Structure 1
Amino acid sequence: MGSTLVKICGLQGVEVLKYMNNLPVDYIGFVFATSRRQVSIETAALLVAQLSQWQNETTPESVGVFVNPTMEQLSEVMDRVSLDVIQLHGQEKPEFCREVKQTFGAKIFKVIQIQGTDDTSTESDIETALQEYEGVIDAVLLDTFDPVHGGGSGKTFAWEQIRRYQVWSHSKGLPLWIAGGLDPNNVEELLERYHPDGVDVSSGVESNGIKDIDKIRAFVERVKGL
């Protein structure tokens, strides 16, 4: 379990980051899409700068979360915030992803929203839907479908659907990340059953809508086997 990557998403305050800076977290996510966790460009710039103070062996990479952004919106952010990863959470086409990668030189994480247990997509359907992203994106992230905000619902999806996407992503050498309703209590089961390359958590490490350092620590420790 220890090699699984961890992303803590939806950070909004410097204090929490300061408390986290001795934890082996691999990615920190900042939400620019409409959400109660949305951050301003000014706040994100401060938070990303704080990552340089990280005291663990490796500094986490910064991830900006966007839903169907325009190139203008991305430029406005990237001019001020040096993000390592742009996570595209909407219906962004392969051509757009390619343009983003070429323009900004950041890694691209493409989110696939899983809509429920009645999804009958076969491995060949998934291959057809995703093949044009090959060579463009740097990771696939599965999240629970949310018709309002595109993610961050705090609900899990039917994990048995993971295998079909895993077949495709691993055949292409792409990491497969899992998000959606993860928390310190269920992440170990996910890891034992499916061995994803990375796990992404937001609401599952909050108390009353605020990031909870104790829950963050518990989540990281369970993923990393500390």
Structure 2
Amino acid sequence: MATVKICGLQDVEVLKSILHLPIDQIGFIFAKSRRQVSPAQAGELIRELKAHEEVAASGGGGGGTVPLTVGVFVNPTPHELAETLREAPLDIVQLHGKESAELCRFVKSTLGARVMKVVSIGGADGSSVEEQLAPYAGSIDMLLLDTFEPHVGGGSGQTFAWDRIPPYLEWTRRNGIPLLVAGGLNAGNVEELIRDYAPDGVDVSSGVETDGIKEVTKIIAFVERVKQHASSAG
């Protein structure tokens, strides 16, 4: 069943409103973005998630899965990462820039978080998938494909050519890690993506917003499309 990641959360009340849903990952953006949060804001949201987890574990209800937390960074320094994780203890660090395999290994070994490396599809890089990713073999825990956006690194709300997915999927299968896909996804097109290309997960941000604000009804519709497709396909 495909992993669902809802990215760009900023509001505690929205978070509380979606915790009953089968969402697997919640993303907080620390890079420059209109969805950017501070480490202190992310820490508050993570505490809300932990409180929900404790209530569910004690049999106090709440339902739903407890999502993993993901922090989105673009070309951070090791110091920036360490300072952020001190205030916001993330499960996964998503690296959305030109970060080295060495930095990925630092996150895993020193900071104790998993690493999701992003490849932006549609830029000028003409190298093969193998050339792009060979340095990262064994240094990352998951790969995310997103639409190339020269100014903000991602979050453009635009899809890329999905026929570019198969060689990346082959690489992740060979290296035993999951492949997630982002870029312009919404409740209207995510089922087609999953049916035709079978990524291990999907990542949405602007596709569940209205006027730049997360909308709970759109999040519900997106999650239902993904999980219902998985159920019917199984």
- The TM-score by the shorter chain falls in which range? over 0.9
Q: What is the Cα deviation at residue 56 of structure 1?
A: 3.0
Hey, what does 2:68 align to over in structure 1? Answer: 61
Counting aligned pairs with the same residue, the percent is 55
Hey, what does 1:20 align to over in structure 2? Answer: 18
For structure 1, which runs of at least 5 residues remain unmatched after alignment? none
2:187 touches 2:218 (CA, 8 Å); kept in 1? yes
Hey, what does 1:202 align to over in structure 2? Answer: 205
Compute the RMSD of aligned alpha carbons.
1.4
Cα offsets for 1:26-58 (capped at 9, x unmatched)? 000000000000001111111011112153343
Tell me the distance in 2 between the aligned counterparts of 1:119 and 1:193. 25
Tell me the distance in 1 between the aligned counterparts of 2:129 and 2:192. 25
1:171 maps to 2:169: no
Hey, what does 2:155 align to over in structure 1? Answer: 152
Tell me the distance in 1 between the aligned counterparts of 2:97 and 2:160. 17
2:107 touches 2:114 (CA, 8 Å); kept in 1? no
Hey, what does 2:6 align to over in structure 1? Answer: 8
1:90 maps to 2:97: yes
Hey, what does 1:74 align to over in structure 2? Answer: 81
> TM-score under structure 2 normalisation?
0.91
For structure 2, which runs of at least 5 residues remain unmatched after alignment? 54-61
Q: What is the Cα deviation at residue 135 of structure 1?
A: 1.0
Question: For 1:115-130, what aligned pairs fall within 5 Å after superposition?
Answer: 115=122, 125-130=128-133
Hey, what does 1:50 align to over in structure 2? Answer: 48
2:20 touches 2:65 (CA, 8 Å); kept in 1? no
Give every structure 1 segment of 4 or more consecutive aligned residues whose post-TM-superposition deviation is greater than 4 Å.
118-121
Q: What is the Cα deviation at residue 119 of structure 1?
A: 7.3
**What is the identity, as a one-letter code, of the residue corresponding to 2:43?**
A
Instruction: Give 2:186's match in structure 1, choosing from 183, 188, 199.
Output: 183
Tell me the distance in 2 between the aligned counterparts of 1:166 and 1:21. 30
SS at match of 1:22: coil
Q: What is the Cα deviation at residue 21 of structure 1?
A: 1.1
1:24 touches 1:56 (CA, 8 Å); kept in 2? no
SS at match of 1:79: helix
Tell me the number of residue pairs that the alignment of Structure 1 and Structure 2 aligns.
220
> TM-score under structure 1 normalisation?
0.94
Cα offsets for 1:100-147 (capped at 9, x unmatched)? 21111100000000016x8765xxx21122112111100010000011
Tell me the distance in 2 between the aligned counterparts of 1:99 and 1:43. 24
1:38 maps to 2:36: yes
2:19 touches 2:65 (CA, 8 Å); kept in 1? no
1:223 maps to 2:226: yes
**What is the identity, as a one-letter code, of the residue corresponding to 2:108?**
K
Seen in structure 2, the aligned counterparts of structure 1 residues 148 and 77 have a Cα distance that, compared at 3 Å, is same
2:21 touches 2:64 (CA, 8 Å); kept in 1? no
